[in-house]
Amino acid sequence: MKRRMHINRREFLQVLGAGGAGLTLGVFRLAPAQTQEGSGVFKPNEFLSIDPDGTVTIWVARSELGQGARTAVPMMVAEELDADWEKIRIMPALAHPSKYGSMQTGGSTTVRRGWEPLRKAGATAREMLITAAAQTWGVERATCRTENGIVYHIPSGRTLTYGELAGAAAALPVPAEVKLKDAKDYKIIGKQKARLDTPDKLSGKALFGFDFMLPGLAVAAIAHPPVLGGTVKSWDGSATKQLKGVKEIVQVPHGIAVIADSVWAALQGRDQLKVEWHKGENANLDSAAIEQYFLEKSREQGALVRTEGDAAAALSAAAKHITAQYHVPFISHSPMEPMNCVADVQSDRVEIWAPTQNPQWVQRMAAEVTGLALEKVFVNTTLSGGGFGRRLMVDYAEEAVDLSMRLKAPVKVIWSREDDLQHGYFRPGSYHALEGAVDDQHRITAWKHRIVAPSISAQLFPGQERRGNPDLVDGAAQVPYRLGIIAIDYVMANTALPVTWLRSVYNSANAFVNESFLDELAHAAGRDPLALRLELLPAESRLRGALQLAAEKAGWGEALPRGRGRGIACHACFGSYAAHVAEVTVTPEGRLSVNRVVCAIDCGQAVHPEGVRQQMEGAVVFSLSGAMREAITLQNGSVVQQNFDTYDLLRIHETPAIEVYIVDSTLAPGGVGEPGVPPVAPALCNAICAATGIRVRRLPLSANDLAWS
Amino acid sequence: MPTYTLFVNQKKQLVEVEADTPLLWVLRETLGLTGTKYGCGQGLCGSCTVLLDGEAVRACTLSVEDAADKQITTIEGITAEKEHPLLQAWLEEEVSQCGYCQPGQILSAAALLNAKPHPTDQEIDDAMSGVLCRCGTYPRIRKAIHRAAQRKGGGR
Ligand code: FES
Ligand code: FES
């Protein structure tokens, strides 16, 4: 059964579509917000308010997935406000179609899209507080200054706190223009701040979607079709009905829902269901067929995305003509908290509590499903136990809304780990054919890359293809090197396996291929991979600084014994520039240990440096896990992997020492959640090649024999 | 339905549930202690780790019957202890990202420090390898356990 999407592709483009290239800044209105007359609360815009007791409330419109949004966002506001950090309180914003701009947490946008509007929101409030103080004292504004939540009158030393000024400031007009600080004056941005979300997370008090309860809330587990696109033929719930705690069994658009008074009863009840399925047209689909399909597609005429010079001529004239084929698997996001959503549909309103990266889409979906107006749909974004792109989709929220409508009662839909793996949307798999030319002067003279992959955008929003290049070339088309002759083309190869954005989207696959093949060419040309990269990068490329920093810290060039090796890779995406050096040991029997990964990132101004380090460390673990052993495979139309026994993630004993270095910069911030991901797999595989001579062209690594002699 | 006596965080609790109900759901749904998390339900991820008489167990595969009459410690019990060395160390190392796995990590670390007040890196890896963290906080977990060990020489 096809899912309706409740959104069109263009709504996504601003944030996600172009892999960070050419995006426009969201337009945020800083109109005065409604405040209770005479309440003494100062709320100059939608992002913050100040209470008479001095408490500063900051509305965070992006989701907290673990990436630190609920710390970095208040840091940007508080900096320009000159707020007392101890008085900051954060509020997750209710979904609203426009007042916060885009609320999507994807494309590493929280900080870079918030940079202007959030600082302006803080600066606007500060201006008004100064005016309020100057008027109270009858002095010139220029004789006042602010620090830590207090306005000072410099000549007299008089002070008023922001709380004391809130009432007066609330009566003032909002200035149209405000001046933002110079980076050298920052007291909060770029400084060490403890994450605001941590204490509750360590005490177990933090409420994730899975923990959210309402009195008498029913819980539903849904039996989904095991074969992709399957539908219910018939079902028998007699055994389920016998179970204590089971209340009802309902057929829903995507399966059979067991409604119970607890998660445990719902899961048990679902186990006892007997469902016959129509398997549908994918009953014979398996991974081998998809790989074969990609291969066949690769022989078609590709659509050109970038061409410079005559590649065919250069390749046939080359001293060395190198060809290589790369295979990248489908993988799963697998956040530790499985999908879930609470929906309460009433005749005139809907309220939803969801761990989502996409509250505005949830809102639109619910309005459409229920027929209610958008402003009657209240979406609360709970904490998410990880997201990585999976929670940009609203499938599980739609199940909750649909079911609450049928039951005429609030309901919480929970997915088990098995649901999450079996019924996910995945990072697309892909096939890549490359050719390169090396001349007798040890120079790279041509680069040819054909990408064969499903398009996320075309699969999710059929008929609304974006003009120009499709998503699947993101990160491949932008190969950053001056390679002389370049020919990059693609063949779109959509399949029945659902796909969506996964941390760094196409950049993870395309950077693996680009940076591995460049390493192949370096070997063929007898060149040092770092020196070659630096030679081929334009002088102004910010990748240079990241490469040099990572290489220096990693001791690039120091000799290692056989069986040990270093690999380097770099990639730019989402406005940031990352380079990693991996160091590995491979035993002659082929046992791999990753000893160390050194990361460097140029993300412009690091707003919360400790958060940047966390994201880079997390990106290394996440991508090592993917590169080393993750793969979603299909057999007879069903996803083979069921739980962490067949889809194991990287564990602590396999995790290397990770060092993170941030390039000093006061340029506008780039993204941080995703850019650390793409260079990991190629740095790792380049290190393996340095250690063993074995070139890995197929992920995951577990599919390769790394034994050497 | 049978009744069981549970000692959760040093508090005696009577629960009336089926004998094979996993402790995880009794804690979360019967007792409302939602700090203990569901991640896989099969003993594979460690999100549900609690202490049973001081040892780390997976609450999702332990029946309430087998947990009865023993001392159970959950994250809520660790938190109740003021300035618990593990929580302090976790804060100081800024370990947590999404935080979903952290109760399981902290309880596993508590069991480790009960058994080995000054664990080596190898012992940390051995004791902690059952608890997944998709956010990749492992390097900080190692550091935080060493820090907690230094602070107090034990996790109690
Ligand atoms: S939920 Fe118990 S080990 Fe995963
Ligand atoms: S902190 Fe997110 S899974 Fe560990």
Pair A416, A130: CB distance under 8 Å: no
pLDDT number for residue A215: 86
Q: Report whether residue A74 contacts ligand 2, using a CB cutoff of 6 Å.
A: no
Chain A CB contacts of B21 below 8 Å: 264
Of A419, A417, A371, nearest in space to A395 by CA: A419
Check pocket membership of B98 for ligand 1, CB cut-off 6 A.
no
- Predicted pLDDT of residue A463: 83
**Does B91 reside within a domain?**
yes
Q: Which of B35, B58, B78 is the last residue of a domain?
A: B78
Verify whether ligand 2 is closer than 6 Å to residue B94 (CB atom). Answer: no
Cβ of residue B106 lying under 6 Å from some atom of ligand 2: no
Q: Is residue B34 a part of any domain in this protein?
A: yes
Would you state the pLDDT for residue A530? 98
Mutate to test the pocket of ligand 2, among B91, B95, B100 (most ligand atoms within 8 A of CB): B100
Instruction: Please report whether residue B130 resides in a domain.
Output: yes
Same domain, B13 and B72: yes
Q: B134 lies in a domain?
A: yes
Q: Residue B120: which CATH number?
A: 1.10.150.120
The reply to whether B35 and B93 lie within a common domain is: no
Is residue B111 situated within a structural domain?
A: yes
The CATH number covering residue B20 comes to: 3.10.20.30
- What is the CB neighbour count within 10 angstroms for residue A348? 7
- For ligand 2, the distance from its centroid to the CA atom of residue B49, given in whole angstroms, is 14
Q: Which of A207, A210, A264 to mutate to test the interface with B (most CBs of B within 10 A)?
A: A264
* Residue B156 in domain: no
Question: Residues B139, B73: one domain?
Answer: no
Q: Which range of residues forms the domain containing residue B110? A: 82-151
**Hey, what domains does chain A have and what are their CATH numbers?**
9-193 (3.30.365.10), 209-279+339-414 (3.30.365.10), 287-331+426-703 (3.30.365.10)
Residues of A in contact with B18 (CB under 8 A): 244
Strand partners, A379: A352
The closest-lying atom of ligand 2 relative to the alpha carbon of residue A336 is 3
Domain boundary among B78, B106, B135: B78
pLDDT number for residue A16: 41
The number of the ligand 1 atom at minimal distance from the alpha carbon of B41 is 1
At residue B1, the pLDDT reads: 86
End-to-end CA distance of chain A: 52
For residues B53 and B96, membership in a common domain is answered with: no
Are B135 and B69 in the same domain? no
- With respect to residue B57, please indicate whether it lies within any of the assigned structural domains: yes
B69 and B115 within one domain? no
| Helix/strand/coil for A578 | strand
Predicted-assembly ipTM surpassing the 0.95 threshold: yes
Taking CA A582 as the corner, what is the angle to CA B144 and CA B146, rounded to the nearest 5 degrees? 10
Q: CA A681, A686, A688: angle at the middle one, nearest 5?
A: 95
pTM: 0.95
Q: From ligand 1's centre to the CA of A242, what distance in Å?
A: 27
A323, A431, A555, A695 from A686: Cα distances, Å:
17, 19, 16, 7
Which pLDDT score is estimated for A30? Answer: 40
Beta bridge partners of B39: none
CA A427, CA A462: separation in Å to the nearest integer?
18
Distance from the Cα of B72 to chain A's closest Cα (Å) equals: 15
CB of A498 closer than 6 angstroms to any ligand 2 atom? no
The tokens describing A503, both together, are 């941390």
B82 confidence band (pLDDT: 50, 70, 90): confident
Q: Is residue B29 part of a domain?
A: yes
Contacts of A621 in chain B (CB under 8 A): 133, 135-136, 138
**Looking at the structure, do residues B7 and B70 belong to the same domain, yes or no?**
yes
Q: Are residues B71 and B128 in the same domain?
A: no
Series of mean pLDDT values for 10-residue runs along chain A (709 residues): 56 40 32 58 96 96 94 96 96 95 92 94 97 98 98 98 97 95 97 92 93 93 97 98 97 96 98 97 97 98 95 94 98 98 98 97 97 98 97 98 97 98 97 97 96 96 82 96 95 97 98 98 97 98 98 97 97 98 98 98 97 98 98 98 98 98 97 97 98 98 96
% of chain B beyond a pLDDT of 90: 94
Among A71, A201, A415, A650, the strongest candidate for a mutation testing the B interface, having the largest count of B CBs within 10 A, is: A201
Q: Please tell me the predicted confidence (pLDDT) of residue A17.
A: 35
Q: Are residues B66 and B13 in the same domain?
A: yes
Residue where a domain terminates, one of B78, B98, B113 = B78
Same domain for B9 and B21, yes or no, is yes
Domain tally for chain B?
Answer: 2
- From the CB of B7, is ligand 1 less than 6 Å away? no
CB A486 within 8 Å of CB A655 = no
Same domain, B38 and B59: yes
Residue having the nearest C-alpha atom to atom 3 of ligand 1: B43
> Three-class SS string for chain B?
CCEEEEEECCEEEEEECCCCCEHHHHHHHHCCCCCCCCCCCCCCCCCCEEEECCEEEECCCCEHHHHCCCEEECHHHHHHCCCCHHHHHHHHCCCCCCCCCHHHHHHHHHHHHHHCCCCCHHHHHHHHCCCCCCCCCHHHHHHHHHHHHHHHCCCC
CA B39 to centroid of ligand 1, rounded, Å: 5
Q: Which of B26, B58, B63, B107 to mutate to test the pocket of ligand 1 (most atoms within 8 A of CB)?
A: B58
Mutate to test the pocket of ligand 1, among B27, B48, B100, B101 (most ligand atoms within 8 A of CB): B48
CB contact under 8 A, A336 and B133: yes
Per-residue pLDDT reduced to its tens digit, A318-328? 999 999 999 99
Does the Cβ of B43 fall within 6 Å of ligand 1? Answer: yes
Model pLDDT, residue B81: 86
**Considering CB atoms only, which of A65, A267, A416 is closest to B98?**
A65
Q: Which of A29, A34, A25 is nearest to A97 (CA)?
A: A29
In angstroms, the separation between the Cα of residue A39 and the nearest Cα of chain B is 36
Res A10: pLDDT: 52
Are residues B27 and B52 located together in one domain of the fold?
A: yes
Query: Does ligand 2 come within 6 angstroms of the Cβ of B98?
Result: yes
* Token pair 């119970």 in the structure block, residue: A260
The whole-angstrom separation of Cα A331 and Cα A347 is 40
